[in-house]
Structure 1
Amino acid sequence: MTTEKQKMIAGEMYLPGDAELVRDRARSQTLQRQYNATIVSDVEERKTILDQWLGSRGSSCALRTPFYTDYGYNIHLGADVFFNYGCVLLDVCTIRIGDKTQIGPLVQILTADHPRAPHQRDAGLEFGQPIEIGRNVWIGGGAIILPGVTVGDDAVIGAGAVVTRSVSAGVTVAGNPARPLVPRAQTA
């Protein structure tokens, strides 16, 4: 028998009020509260909390507080990943972020979604789609990454962009909805 948690992680319709999922969110909120009460000099305490909270993390990750998640265990960070203040990661499905990616303040990475059919919403069903962000990506402050998006290595997401579609490696996007910018000549 498939549990609601298994359905959620697989991107299928699930019931978020399931007892196991409620317990998992409460656990995440406890760890979130502990982490958000730390300061940058609480290095070992932060590492301990992150190791309990996140699915995995590479070395030298820096997550400025406050930092918010639904579950935490669906988040996988590469080495040297940086999050600025106030980021929100709704991780009902997997979120993978590659090495050396830098994420500005108030960025939202949202795997959670809701059905478009009113009868499914009325039944309390939800679903999600995983998000993958490559290596050495820069995401500007206030950007929103929507469910199912993949961002390729070395891409740039402009501040305030709403990313509704996948972004190829090395491409810069901005706007709402985010669209590729015409490259400018680079100077040495």
Structure 2
Amino acid sequence: MTISEKDKMLEGVFYDAGDEELVKEREYARNLFFEFNHTKPSEKEKRKEILQRLIRTKGSFHIEAPFYCDYGYNIEVGENFYANFNCIILDVNKVKIGDNVLLAPNVQIYTAAHPIDPTERLSGKEFSKPITIGDNVWIGGGTILCPGVNIGNNVTIGAGSVVTKDIPNNVVALGNPCRILREI
């Protein structure tokens, strides 16, 4: 039995992002977020309907345009989710976002990764690692979440942070690389 490139992608092993199925699925998502990004702010119901076709939600949520992602179907958001302007989620792997999560402008969530070795990188292969964000989290503007990180519950991430390692529950963390400042 042959394993599909999509299955490889979701397992976090090297996969070919140029695979025909994956290219079609990315194009589908891009058409949806293009439509979303070009709606009027007053078209709230239309925006919500487009996003519900793109991402999985468990309840009330709001995402400001512009918004960008790779596939959409790998993103799961909990109740009372809010993403401010220019949110980017490269969801080549699962992105699970808990309840009561707020993303400030320009937050970037990257599950996609590339080999460090130049020969492997030039082969066109990629890999991915999932990202999880707990409940009651606020992520400050311009923050980048790197592949594979987990952010605990009741966490505040300071603006401009680059999160390269897991962040435990009940802390304020910030910086590049992101470090715990104090407990809450």
TM-score normalised to structure 2 length = 0.96
* Paired letter, 1:131: I
Aligned residues: 183
Instruction: Name the residue aligned to 1:144.
Output: 144
Gaps of 5+ in 1: none
Please give the alpha-carbon distance, in whole angstroms, between the structure 1 residues aligned to 2:141 and 2:75. Answer: 20
Residue deviations 1:74-94, cap 9 Å, x none?
000001100000010000000
As a proportion of its length, which structure holds more strand? Answer: 2
Gaps of 5+ in 2: none
Partner of 1:49: 50
Secondary structure of 2:106's match? Answer: coil
Q: CA deviation at 1:42?
A: 1.6
Shift of 1:139: 0.1
SS at match of 1:99: coil
CA distance in 2, matches of 1:109, 1:75: 11
1:40 shift after superposition: 3.5
Mapped to 1, the partners of 2:130 and 2:183 lie a distance apart of 29
In 2: Cα distance, 1:158 partner to 1:102 partner: 12
1:116 correspondence with 2:122: no
Q: CA deviation at 1:47?
A: 2.1
> Which amino acid in structure 1 is aligned with residue 73 of structure 2?
Y
Measured after TM superposition, the shift of residue 102 of structure 1 is 0.3
CA distance in 2, matches of 1:146, 1:9: 16
Runs of 4 or more off by more than 6 Å in structure 1?
A: none
User: SS at 2:79's partner residue?
Assistant: coil
Residue 130 of structure 2: aligned partner? 130
Q: Secondary structure at the match of 2:3?
A: coil
Distance in 2 of aligned mates of 1:21 and 1:30? 14
Kindly report the root-mean-square deviation, in angstroms, between the aligned alpha carbons of the 2 structures.
Answer: 1.1
TM-score (norm. length: structure 1): 0.94
Q: Percent identity?
A: 45
